[in-house]
Structure 1
Amino acid sequence: QLARNAGCLTLELPNLKVGAMRNRGVALADGEIIAFVDSDHEVALDWLEKGLNALRADARIIAAGSHYLPPEEGTWVQRIWGIHRLRGRSPREVDWLGSGNLFVRRSDFLKVGGFREELTAAEDVDLCHRLRTELNGRIICDQNIRNTHHGEPKTVKDFLRKEYWRGSSGLRAWVVSGFPLRDLPSFLWPIWHLLGGICGLALLVCAMIWQTPQLFYSWFIGICLWIAPSILLSIKICWEERKLRYIPQLALLYFLYGLARAAALFKA
């Protein structure tokens, strides 16, 4: 309603997936640059200016944007996951950007066929992969293109649900993209958590049946190995970002992320 009141053309497409809805919007747009933003995002006053400047800074830049900022008064889940999302220097080249904060040339968008409409999620990952590989372009993350996502998960339960949904089309997007090796770590992480959970449960059942100390020791060591990658990754990121006191919380979210994405493998 706010968009209508401001004189904007709006579409109501309740039965389409998000990629299809965005494609319909692009089809009606006639500008040289397409700027994508979602309804639960709040952009800075200079958002358009910064986005256009970043995209036009170099002819090789094919898309520009930034990872979403957490709400200023956000919960600990939103703030801690923001450490992961906003890590690293800026501006820098990245593999992909979320379509809630993305600038791309209309001609380039159409050359690669737009968003894949069959994907429930990860349509932005797939689009960016095709922009990079088919057009040999660069995707730039510039944190000056400020965009706050008010729909970020507020609780652990919301976080699990959201990452499960986000991972629902991840495997399909990887397959249709031709199994790019640079995206392989994104799938090894949930597979590790899936196999670790299965092995841990099997060892626990065996230990309870046979009641041998060796099996209980093996189960304990297995659990430690299962959670070790989350702890080590959290230490690495928090060290780089000079936020060491958040290591436990970020490690927990990395572990839960792995569990949610592991469950999403079955949905995919």
Structure 2
Amino acid sequence: MLPTRTTARTEGCAACSDTVRVVPSARPAVDVVAPVAGDAALVRAVLARLRGLERRDGDTVTVVDNRGVGVEDPDVLVATAVRTSYHARNRGAARGTAPWLLFLDADVDPPADLLDRLFSPVPGEHVGVLAGAVRDSDPGPRGTAAERYAHLKSSMSQETTLARDRGRFAFAQTANAAVRRSAFVVVGGFREEVRSGGDADLCFRLAAAGWALERRPDAAVVHRNRTTVRAMLGQRFRHGTGAAWLAAEHPGALPARRWPGLLAWGVRRAGAGVRAGLRGDRDAALVGLLDGPAVWAFELGRRVPNRELPAAGRARRGGPSAPGGPGAAHRSDGPPDARDGDGPPLDPGPDGQ
């Protein structure tokens, strides 16, 4: 059935600016899956966000508890055999039967009409992935340095991973990505032994199998960024572990930068930040001072194996509710989740490095 034009208002959605959109009069059913590796309060909070989605017959929501924190609810699935977000996503996907899967991260806020927006227009039969938009939350001028930096750099934007110059290595982040179930099954789903980069790997394999990726810029979620610099750098470090793995698995994807030039570039950026601070330009100062450490953390992450930390390592970093690498413990650093570095590589940094 063809889409029909409908006037719709989205209230309270920072990611949605338009008020007139095309809504499919009939769209496929969708199984929504979000992995969580946090405490019971976070599991309940994520479940409440998913239940806020406008659903139609056949749609389901599943929160996958990757730590086993004891929340009993028909829409919560416990999957702790492998403590990675990709294992959790595979188990959540296997629970349903809808022709499409929507993967969301635990640290995003979706608008109520996200499902309708994703399927407007209705995708063709050759489309295997729909990349919804991801917009970093705006903390305002009083936000922490880490929050403000992520917002200014659009750190989680799908535009980073879908950029034209990526060519065959463009990919959709599982912060907001719909995947056709039949395509997902044919390629074997996510490779669940890795902590980071599984979304890119899935998209590369789907593209190799002949499936197309389409953007859905009007289907946007808002990403809640880390609130401390330590946590933000830990996230970038985890992204780096995934980048090294992807470069090995898919030659040509995410090549490493050269350290001598990278260090010099970081120092120059820090100098620009200091000068901006002396002028009273806080935003420019933050970007200049944090650009170097953010990219350095990413490149250093390449030196660490892309697999889940052993139990002892997790305990040293704050116990089983603290996924990921350095600085990711469940403190006041922002919402812990089961993403474990699923997001995009960092901003390009210095050209040619």
TM-score strictly above 0.5: yes
Is residue 93–residue 101 contact of structure 2 (8 Å, CA) maintained in 1?
A: yes
Q: Tell me which protein shows more strand as a share of its residues.
A: 2
1:67/1:256 CA distance change after superposition, 3 Å = farther
CA distance in 1, matches of 2:112, 2:99: 21
Q: Which runs of 5+ in 2 are unaligned?
A: 1-43, 52-72, 271-281, 306-353
Q: Tell me the equivalent position of 1:133.
A: 208
Q: Which amino acid aligns with 1:130?
A: R
Q: Which amino acid aligns with 1:262?
A: E
Q: Superposed, which structure 2 residues align to 1:54-203 within 5 Å?
A: 54=121, 56-73=122-139, 75-82=147-154, 85=157, 95-135=170-210, 137-150=211-224, 152-177=225-250, 179=251, 181=252, 183=253, 186-188=254-256, 191-192=257-258, 194-196=259-261
Deviation at 1:39, TM superposition (A): 2.2
1:260 aligns with 2:297: yes
CA distance in 2, matches of 1:265, 1:165: 8
Number of residue-to-residue matches in the alignment: 218
Is residue 67–residue 97 contact of structure 1 (8 Å, CA) maintained in 2?
A: no
TM-score (norm 2): 0.54
Of residues 114, 132, 150, the one that matches 1:47 is 114
Identity of aligned residues (%): 19
Q: Which runs of 5+ in 1 are unaligned?
A: 201-222, 232-244
Q: Report the structure number with the largest CA radius of gyration.
A: 1
Of 108-117 and 73-82, the range deviating more from structure 2 = 73-82
Is residue 67–residue 98 contact of structure 1 (8 Å, CA) maintained in 2?
A: no
SS in 1 for 2:103: strand
Deviation at 1:71, TM superposition (A): 1.9
Is residue 158–residue 172 contact of structure 2 (8 Å, CA) maintained in 1?
A: no
Q: Which amino acid aligns with 1:170?
A: A
SS in 1 for 2:106: coil
Q: Tell me which protein shows more helix as a share of its residues.
A: 1
CA distance in 2, matches of 1:19, 1:131: 16
Deviations 1:62-85 (A, max 9, x none): 211234212233531231121783
TM-score (norm 1): 0.69
CA distance in 1, matches of 2:244, 2:155: 25
